Amino acid sequence: MKNLDFATHRQQYTIDNKAISYIDIGQGPVLLFGHSYLWDAQMWAPQIELLSQQYRCIVPDLWGHGLSTDMPAQCRNLRDVSAQMLSLMDSLDIGDFSVIGLSVGAMWGAELALLAPTRVKRLVMLNSFIGFEPEITRDKYYAMLDVIKHEKGISPALRATIIPLFFADNPNQLLVDKFELILANINSEQIDSLFRLGKMIFGRRDTLEQVEELTLPCLIMAGVQDKARSVLESYLMHDAIDGSKFIHIPDAGHISTLEQAEFINQHLTEFLSATN
């Protein structure tokens, strides 16, 4: 996997005296990307490389992730995050756009589609679930968050628990090593934002209650070996969202954009072209 350098395409947008770092690259119809918890905009590198040839790609780092600063105090849930992303689009004078999100990126992406239905033209949700977090997994993740907050970092022992959740059964070792480095380098200044964002993710509302309002073209994709979000959850979203398209991602875990980049690129390109 190439480690693409988007540094020259980095911009900053300030909200409540805090800065969101984002990549802005390409020209054409706008695609807004949302990355997974504990990753950053770089997890979309293979997709940005391809799609920026035909589209304008806006790829923010979430609060406490990548090059973004800590989270504003007023940010309390994923609806607030979606409103901040809409504010970013407003600041760029972007009217309509499509949202492509993985995991929490799809969770706030769905909230954004509900918040601005006339502006969000298409929604892609990979390895995600917009219903309630099941109680057993919510409690498990809350316990992990408490440990991270107490230890002010992610210890080797906790990394050994977290890392397998993101990958297929036989993972690419380079990807695993890269992710371990990301987790090891998380500093104490990021911890509060990561803790708060984690609580927002796993304590999110049941967005499926408003699912009949999601009338835009919608593509749902699920890694068949995802340990963090089950394929069943994607089936539930597909059944609930009228007209949605569902695709299995073979030999992929949670971070499918890097594990099966060519497969993802092919189906994103087809979906975006078919719904243009």
How does pLDDT run across 102-154, given as a tens digit for each residue?
999 999 999 999 999 999 999 999 999 999 999 999 999 999 999 999 999 99
Q: Across residues 193-218, what is the average pLDDT?
A: 97
- Note the pLDDT of residue 3: 52
Mean pLDDT of the 178-207 span: 96
In a domain, 81, yes or no: yes
Q: Give residue-wise pLDDT tens across range 85-106.
A: 999 999 999 999 999 999 999 9
Q: For residue 147, is it within any domain?
A: no
In this prediction, residue 1 has a pLDDT band, given cuts at 50, 70 and 90, of very low
Residue 37 lies in a domain: yes
Q: Is residue 78 part of a domain?
A: yes
Contacts of residue 258, defined as CB under 8 A and 6 or more positions apart, other chains included, come to 1, 43, 45, 46, 172, 175
> In the 8-state DSSP scheme, what is residue 203?
T
- The CB-side HSE value for 144 (13 A sphere, CA atoms) comes to 20
Q: In what order do the strands lie in the sheet with 245-249?
A: 10-15, 18-25, 56-60, 30-34, 97-102, 120-126, 218-223, 245-249
Provide the H-helix boundaries in the chain.
Answer: 45-51, 78-91, 104-115, 135-151, 156-162, 173-184, 188-202, 231-240, 256-259, 261-274
Q: Could you tell me which residues are beta bridge partners of residue 33?
A: 100
Please indicate, yes or no, if residue 137 is contained in any of the structural domains.
no
Question: What torsion, rounded to 10 degrees, do the Cα atoms 182, 221, 24, 35 define?
Answer: -30
Query: pLDDT (tens digit, 9 = 90+) per residue, 28-46?
Result: 999 999 999 999 999 999 9
Report whether 183 contacts 162 (CB < 8 A): yes
pLDDT for the residue 34: 98
- Domain limits for position 249: 7-132+206-274
Report the percent of the chain where pLDDT is more than 70.
99
**201 part of a folded domain:** no
Task: Give CA–CA dist 235/208, Å, rounded.
Answer: 13
CATH number at residue 243: 3.40.50.1820
Query: For the chain, what is the domain count?
Result: 1
pLDDT of the residue at 4: 66
Q: What is the DSSP string of 12-51?
A: EEEETTEEEEEEEE--SSEEEEEPPTT--GGGGHHHHHHH
pTM of the model as a whole: 0.97
CA separation, residue 177 to residues 4, 174, 182, 196 (Å): 17, 5, 9, 26
Tell me, yes or no, whether 116 lies in a domain.
yes
Average pLDDT over residues 68-85: 97
69 is a domain residue: yes
Kindly indicate the confidence band of residue 5, based on its pLDDT and cuts at 50, 70 and 90: confident
Residue 52: predicted pLDDT: 97
pLDDT digits (tens, 9 = 90+) for 239-251: 999 999 999 999 9
Q: Average pLDDT of the chain?
A: 96
